[in-house]
Amino acid sequence: MHTAQSETINRFQSTFDVQPDSRIVAIELAGDDEVRIYRRLQGRITEERATFQPWLVVPSSVARRLGSVVDEIRLNGDARLNTLVKFQRWSRWRDAFRRIRDQELPALAFPSPAEQYLTLSRELLFGGLEFDDLVRAQIDIETLGLDPRAPDGRIVLVTAAVNGQEPFLLRGDELDEAGLISGLSEWIQRVDPDVIEGHNVFNFDIPFLVERGRRHGLQLQWGRDGSAVRIGSAQRFKAGARSIPYDPVYVYGRHVVDTYQQIQRYDAAGLLASYGLKAAIDALGLTRDDRAFVAGDEIGYAWEHDRERLVKYAIDDVLDTNVLSELALPTEFYQAQLLPRGLQSVATGGPGEKINDLLTRAYLLRRESIPLPDEPRPYPGGFTAVRAVGSFGPIVKADVESLYPAIMLRDRIAPASDHLGVFLPMLAVLTERRLEAKRNAQLTERHAQARWHGIQLSLKVLINSFYGYLGYSRAYFSDFNAAERVTLAGHQVIQQVERELEQRGARIIEIDTDGVYFQPASSSSTFDDEQCLIDEISLATGDGIRLAHDGRWRAMLSLRLKNYALLGYDDRITLKGSGLRNRREEPLLRRFIQDLSRSFLAPDDEPAVRERYLTYAEQILASAWPPEDIARTETVSEASRNTELGRRLIAAVGQARVGERVTVYQRADSSFAPIEDYAHDEDRVYLLRRLRDTAERFRVLYDEDTAFEYEFPIVSLATDLAQLRASAPVSQPRLF
């Protein structure tokens, strides 16, 4: 390694030279000129105060106009943001920040006192702590309605647990509603958690508790200082391509985490069909044998007639919330040990902001000026292609591990504005640490293995964010030319992998940026055969590029780009792509896609494609589908009144709260109705049409329209299915 590069890495490593055993679990503003620091020492929380001078980084010309500045530090270098200004009080900082925002002046500003303190102090959260050292409180409520403003929307059960242990229960047949709400607040103060968790806790549980408490003149006094819960302005949580609105909740001295959000980040591969608590737990294979279930529309009935089952169900909910937290939250926890921000901010923040934190902290600790973001421009995306349509097997996926970061390290691609040269050393050190964590995960078991797995996942998230940061419009060190260089180099690498595979007799099915699905030359290849092939190609791709075996399947159904079905050797079907996975569709259509894909993938084991389709149509005609299978779940939004669908939805459910999820079905007169009002009056014409429309997604598998029309004939209310079944088949109906 070059001496200069080695020195730069040493400089980078010093940015992580924090107090190794600080054990800080939270930092909050105290008054106007101090922060309160909470530490967990020997299982107990200690509290201390430290002087705090809030700060901004601005151009020198802006600094002279701010006023109320107690310290002005000129930063090294000629980047635009060259002056660090400090204020005596938070109120003065807030006034200055408002002026800068209103006048749209350039500035680097963290609106969180905790982030400001951590950025300049060299301290980080959770130093010397493991994930299991956190005290995490899981909470859940059961209500008789979904609208907390409605007279019948009262809370009847409150359940809670600490780290999934010692379930705590408050019952509406023993306490009035005010007693349930105040009892939960007392419990939280008693167990003193660092983190409060719930599933959909931002958009349901806590807002519901706040509103019901208001009706009784109560506040949720959950803060470590005894303060009330605060609900912030609407934000959007991003998980991959999904963007979900939510209202953040803040509790003084504690972090609030929503496992509904976290499980979506955990499911980066998009394998889960639903992120509801019970559905996610079941899909992950984590459902307990004695788990109780009560459907949402049955809670009122269960409260009146089967109360103990409802109690068991509520307790199981908090236990399952803990299961999801233990699965998904360690990634965010170990990131928080690297980033100058709180756990809640890490858990909800985007990847670009996290790299911003790393770079700006490195520069400010060295008193170096900060550049403004590069001028945005379009640049090519990853290389994608479908080479074959149809059903193929067996299938193997070869994946280039961290393709773009590997290219950046190999080709020394970094932001042009990074004059300190910390970007690549950061990436190199994080990559080395991740590889070390992966090795440790392979060498350990149980608790230690889980710890190392959490660390390597958190580092993987950060590492893969470095490329996106180059093309992030709000990144201070963005560089769109560098992003384009990385992308084009990625095209060359993945196309080389394709050529190497084809030269060895493989059939390429699909290429997607950093992965290739292919059919090996031998239909009887073993995992070891496949691994040897991939290792051989990895050597051929050159230094710094590592190819990994990323999965093997019995068969693959390829339809179009990023839309395919995989049949595993365990006989499970995995669907990918918007054409095959749409959570807003009626469950019967989602099941139809699953079953139809199975018929294409395993024709010798399953009912014929045409018979699958006709059976579904037959059940629609006979009104044989249960209401939950023909219903759809929609979210009420501010814009609902502006669309025809939204107006029909509101007409069906009345004054639903914005953000509320409602389940409705379409009646024969085309109106929507709540699922609990189902009266065997569904719109069968609509369902038959939607069934046929869904089948259209598979038309690409047929080279003649007549063949497709034979397998998926149009069915109406007057269709004689027996006559259809007796019609003569079309020869060679499909491409395979």
Residue 660: the pLDDT is 63
Residue 656: the pLDDT is 58
Give the type of residue at 332.
E
Model pLDDT for residues 403-435, shown as the tens digit of each residue: 999 999 999 999 999 999 999 999 998 898 888
The count of other CB atoms within 10 Å of the CB of residue 428 is: 19
Closest CA relative to residue 474, chosen from 17, 109, 22 = 109
List strands edge to edge, sheet with 384-386.
Answer: 384-386, 507-512, 515-519, 395-400, 547-553
Residue 603 lies in a domain: yes
Residue 14 pLDDT > 60: no
Residue 270 to residue 273: CA distance in whole angstroms: 8
If residue 538 lies in a helix (H) or strand (E), which one and from where to where? helix 527-540
Among residues 101, 127, 153, which one ends one of the domains?
Answer: 127
Beta bridge partners of 256: 196
Beta-carbon contacts of residue 643 (< 8 Å; ≥ 6 apart): none
Residue that wins the pLDDT comparison between 62 and 447: 62
Residue recorded with tokens 């299961």:
323
Model pLDDT for residues 635-680, shown as the tens digit of each residue: 766 666 677 777 777 777 776 555 566 788 999 999 998 888 899 9
Closest CA relative to residue 410, chosen from 486, 491, 470, 500 = 486
DSSP state, 667?
A: B
Q: Which domain holds residue 524?
A: 379-414+479-576
Residue recorded with tokens 């107090």:
19
List helix spans (H) across 608-704.
609-621, 627-630, 644-653, 684-695
Model pLDDT for residues 505-564, shown as the tens digit of each residue: 999 999 999 999 999 998 888 999 999 999 999 999 888 899 999 999 999 999 999 999
Prediction pTM value: 0.85
Q: Are residues 538 and 625 in the same domain?
A: no
The enclosing domain of 665 has a CATH number of 1.10.132.60
Q: At what angle do helices 446-470 and 403-411 cross, to 10 degrees?
A: 60
130: which 2 tokens?
């493991």
Residue that wins the pLDDT comparison between 318 and 642: 318
Model pLDDT for residues 352-397, shown as the tens digit of each residue: 899 999 999 999 999 999 999 999 999 999 999 999 999 999 999 9
DSSP state, 372?
A: P
**pLDDT (average), residues 237-266:** 91
Q: Are residues 561 and 587 in the same domain?
A: no
Residue recorded with tokens 């911003």:
356
**pLDDT (average), residues 53-74:** 92
- Average pLDDT, rounded, for the chain: 90
Q: Are residues 39 and 148 in the same domain?
A: no
Residue 244 to residue 153: CA distance in whole angstroms: 25
Residue 10 pLDDT > 50: no
The CA-to-CA distance between both ends of the chain, in Å, stands at 54
Peptide bond between residue 394 and the one before it cis (omega within 30 degrees of 0)? yes
**pLDDT (average), residues 288-298:** 87
Residue 5: the pLDDT is 39
Q: Are residues 169 and 286 in the same domain?
A: yes
Q: Of all residues in the chain, what percent carry a pLDDT higher than 90?
A: 71
Q: Are residues 594 and 567 in the same domain?
A: no
CA atoms within 13 A on the CB side of 667: 15
Q: Are residues 559 and 651 in the same domain?
A: no
CB 146 within 8 A of CB 318: no
Low-confidence winner among 63-67, 610-614, 726-730 (lowest mean pLDDT): 726-730
CB 522 within 8 A of CB 552: no
Q: Are residues 139 and 112 in the same domain?
A: no
Q: Are residues 483 and 528 in the same domain?
A: yes
The DSSP bridge pattern shows strands 235-239 and 395-400 to be unpaired
Among residues 305, 321, 337, which one ends one of the domains?
Answer: 321
3-state SS of 167-199? EEEEECCCCCHHHHHHHHHHHHHHHCCCEEEEC
Three-state SS at 542 = coil
Q: Are residues 545 and 606 in the same domain?
A: no
Kindly indicate the confidence band of residue 8, based on its pLDDT and cuts at 50, 70 and 90.
very low
Q: Are residues 619 and 500 in the same domain?
A: no
Distances from the Cα of 619 to the Cαs of 417, 612, 613, in angstroms? 64, 11, 10
The count of other CB atoms within 10 Å of the CB of residue 83 is: 20
Residue 473 lies in a domain: no
The enclosing domain of 222 has a CATH number of 3.30.420.10
CA atoms within 13 A on the CB side of 315: 17
Residue 657: the pLDDT is 57
Model pLDDT for residues 589-610, shown as the tens digit of each residue: 999 999 999 999 998 888 899 9
CB 278 within 8 A of CB 293: yes
Residue 711 to residue 429: CA distance in whole angstroms: 56
The enclosing domain of 540 has a CATH number of 3.90.1600.10
Residue recorded with tokens 């059919």:
519
Residue 139 to residue 220: CA distance in whole angstroms: 13
Longest alpha-carbon distance in the chain = 89
- C-alpha 700: how far from chain center: 32
**E strand map for 199-298:** 230-231, 235-239, 242-246, 249-250, 255-258
Q: Are residues 289 and 164 in the same domain?
A: yes
Residue 420 lies in a domain: no
Among residues 541, 576, 611, which one ends one of the domains?
Answer: 576
Query: 281 — phi, psi (to 5°)?
Result: -60, -45
Residue 734 pLDDT > 80: no
Residue recorded with tokens 């939607």:
690
Q: Are residues 28 and 149 in the same domain?
A: no
Beta-carbon contacts of residue 605 (< 8 Å; ≥ 6 apart): none
Q: Of all residues in the chain, what percent carry a pLDDT higher than 70?
A: 95
**pLDDT (average), residues 10-27:** 66
Residue 13 pLDDT > 70: no
Residue 350 lies in a domain: no
Closest CA relative to residue 517, chosen from 559, 488, 553, 569 = 553
Closest CA relative to residue 24, chosen from 121, 127, 134 = 127
The DSSP bridge pattern shows strands 195-198 and 136-143 to be parallel
Backbone dihedral region of 163: left (phi > 0), alpha (psi from -120 to 50 degrees) or beta?
A: left
**pLDDT (average), residues 184-202:** 97
Residue 584 pLDDT > 70: yes
Per-residue b or e along 511-526, where b marks 16 or more CB atoms closer than 10 Å to that residue's CB = bbbbbbbbbbeeeebe
Residue 700 lies in a domain: yes
Q: Give how many domains the chain has, as a whole number.
A: 4
**pLDDT (average), residues 152-169:** 95
Residue 566 to residue 393: CA distance in whole angstroms: 10
The count of other CB atoms within 10 Å of the CB of residue 126 is: 21
Residue 627 to residue 632: CA distance in whole angstroms: 10
The enclosing domain of 63 has a CATH number of 3.30.342
Residue 437 lies in a domain: no
- C-alpha 418: how far from chain center: 30
The count of other CB atoms within 10 Å of the CB of residue 1 is: 8
Residue 339 lies in a domain: no
Residue 298 lies in a domain: yes
